Amino acid sequence: MNKKLILTGTLVSSLVVATACSNSNTASFKEDESKGKMKETPKEEIESKSSNEDTSREKSDIQRSKNGFLDSYLDENLKADKEIVYENKEPKNIDLDGFKFNIEEYQVVHITNVEDPADFGDREEGYVVTVKANVDNQSGGKAYFSHPDLIGQNEYDTHMTKLGFVIEGVLAPKMDSTVDDPAYYEDGEKQIGLFEYILDVEEYNKLQNTNAKLRVPFGARDKNRKEHLGEVHEIDFPLSPQN
């Protein structure tokens, strides 16, 4: 199919996360249909929506593409050369006072020779880090939770999730949300899904040469995040075999 990929998705996050980040990582990309070009969409707009159309995530696994990519939409729709350069299948489990966030595996894909750079944020080369994770809310109440940030040398080298290609199967609560009323995981709710980081070559090289980590935020019982579930965790998150 020969159409533009819309480099946004329905990112369900419980809140707009106030965190230090580089200017290049505070937005995802969305196609401006009137001009046929890509424009940036604020993270707040992306995080304001959720989807209850796919409730099967509680019951079924995320299926790889026939070529072994975690993000099958990326593999099947982005016209470019794609190579899996690193995979990590070591589970990483975090318990936030009964709200359990578990990374099952993740994959780093090198993208080159993009046929239409507009399909990849006006880039001809870059990297996509796809993370497969699950949550299990056994906290005894509702739980607000945001996707982790990918961090490098310091707090200023921060990369937020960008749902460039995850069209279905986003890790998210099943309920709808808005900016004013963010979605939360209900007590006992289980979900499995994907989220992604999109990096340019410079960002990836910098991260793979340092001790990259994921900063997993605490959960919360309320939308204002006053009543915490657990605390912030930073876990090692290598992006290449040598790390």
Which 3 state secondary structure label does DSSP give 20? Answer: coil
Q: Are strands 213-216 and 233-236 parallel, antiparallel or unpaired?
A: antiparallel
Question: What single letter denotes the amino acid at residue 114?
Answer: V
Q: What angle do CA 6, 54, 4 make, to 5 degrees?
A: 15
Does some domain include residue 241? no
Q: Which residue has the tokens 């990259």?
A: 212
Q: Are 161 and 138 in contact (CB under 8 A)?
A: no
Q: Flag whether 17 is in a domain.
A: no
155: in domain? yes
Domain with 181, as residue range(s), is 23-236
Residue 154, pLDDT score: 81
CA-to-CA distance for 197 and 162, rounded, in angstroms? 5
Does any domain span residue 100? yes
Residue 80 falls inside a structural domain: yes
pLDDT at 164: 67
Give domain status of residue 198, yes or no: yes
Indicate the residue type of 81: D
For 115, half-sphere exposure in the C-beta direction (CA atoms, 13 angstrom radius) is 11
pTM: 0.76
| End-to-end alpha carbon distance in the chain | 38
Question: Token pair for residue 164?
Answer: 């460039």
- The 10 Å Cβ neighbour count of residue 87 is 14
Residue 214: its pLDDT value, please?
A: 96
Q: How many domains does the chain have?
A: 1
- Residue 145 maps to a domain: yes
β-bridge partners, 150: 159, 214
Full pLDDT tens readout for the chain, 243 residues: 444 443 433 333 333 333 333 333 333 333 333 333 333 434 444 344 334 444 444 445 788 999 999 999 999 999 999 999 999 999 999 999 999 999 999 999 999 999 999 999 899 999 999 999 999 999 999 999 999 999 998 878 899 987 668 877 899 999 988 888 999 999 999 999 999 999 999 999 999 888 999 999 999 999 999 999 999 999 999 999 875
Q: What is the 3-state secondary structure (H, E, C) of 26-91?
A: CEEEEEECCCCEEEEEEHHHHHECCCCCCHHHHCCCCCCCCCCCCCHHHHHHCCCEEEEEEEECCC
* Domain CATH number, residue 135: 2.60.40.4170
Nearest to 147 by CA among 128, 131, 165, 136: 131
Q: Is residue 94 within 8 Å of 102, Cβ to Cβ? A: yes
Other C-beta atoms closer than 10 Å to the C-beta of 17 total 19
